[in-house]
Chains A and B, each alone.
Chain A
């Protein structure tokens, strides 16, 4: 139990996926202009990440390790992710139309979100068991959501700020992200 709590805390705060491990920077910069789409993106990502970590753990353990095919890791994980995203999209469309409309455009984009493939690769590196992998995938998603929502909140305020002309847009966003990363470094001694 303690172990699971440590995995959760570490993935959400101490080793935050976006600000400490630099995964998922593209959506972090691209979809963080307003809070509500940022939250939807975070939720969709968390959902796919949790599923991916479960499926890729099983594939790695029983197919790749079993047949000694570890060199196919990257290829098979990306296939898992692409098909999962497609499946989730069809599933959500069928089950809940409002949720589909809310997540709609973000779902296909998730395939190329490096945070998802990152989760699959990290849980092989860290040699988690099945339960730990699912917790890790879920908490990495929560960490991503936390970072992107904080960023969206700051950027909504930033609209009103007087930014030097050449630093408007991406440049100032990077610098703000730098300050956020600096703040998250404060957690580094926690675990």
Chain B
């Protein structure tokens, strides 16, 4: 029973306590760059879930045969392989989304969340735990990106996932879907996150 509790905690920590974007400030580039709509945030998150879970599994399996001196290059090659697969799959089946995300799909390679989890977790733990940890982290990332994207879409265009939410009289705030909106919204989200955390700790 004890093992089950720790496994679920392994999963849940990625969602809030160690949320990669809000608490650890990792993977900020894609979080800012592609979240001009909810759907873009979600698809970026799904690409990261795929890459992180697959590379964590492989690296955890190979953790005893990778020499310590060359572990970082090895991790990067494994990650780059799965990113290329994700990139080509997106381009083949969802060309519109692939176009919207542009070079930010190949850029997942240098997303610090993925390399960070390999170094801190997958290379030291069994496959099961590494996959659970990867799932938690990447789902936490996806949820954050989806909220961020939906919020910007709501105020910038008046829709969420292309469904009209705001009344017709609402004047869209263009700035929210442009670059400054990304920084401002993420700043607000981090601040609110801090506030919620402080309130929970009391």
Interface residues of A (CB under 8 A from B): 19-26, 29-30, 71-75, 78-79, 82, 111-114, 116-118, 121-122, 125, 164, 166-167, 170-175, 177-179, 181-182, 184-185
Contacts and interface: CB of A to CB of B under 8 A. Distances in A.
B191 A171 contact: yes
Contacts of A178: 180-184, 187
A113 B29 CA distance: 10
Contacts of B53: none
Nearest to B111: A114
A173 B187 contact: yes
B195 interface: yes
- Give chain B's interface secondary structure class: helix
A75 B74 CA distance: 11
B32 interface: yes
Given A25-B28, A82-B73, A114 B110 contact: yes
A75 B184 contact: no
A23 B186 contact: no
Contact of A125 (B25, B103, B111, B184): B103
A166 B194 contact: yes
B83 interface: yes
Contacts of B26: 26
Given A111-B72, A118-B107, A175-B187, 20 more contacts: A20-B179, A22-B32, A22-B182, A25-B28, A25-B29, A29-B25, A29-B28, A74-B109, A75-B80, A78-B110, A117-B106, A121-B103, A172-B191, A175-B183, A175-B188, A177-B187, A178-B180, A178-B182, A181-B179, A181-B180
A79 B178 contact: no
B33 interface: yes
A74 B80 contact: yes
A26 B84 contact: no
Interface string B159-201: 0000000000000000100111111101110111011001000
B133 interface: no
Nearest to A83: B73
A121 B80 CA distance: 14
A21 B72 CA distance: 27
Contacts of B73: 79, 82
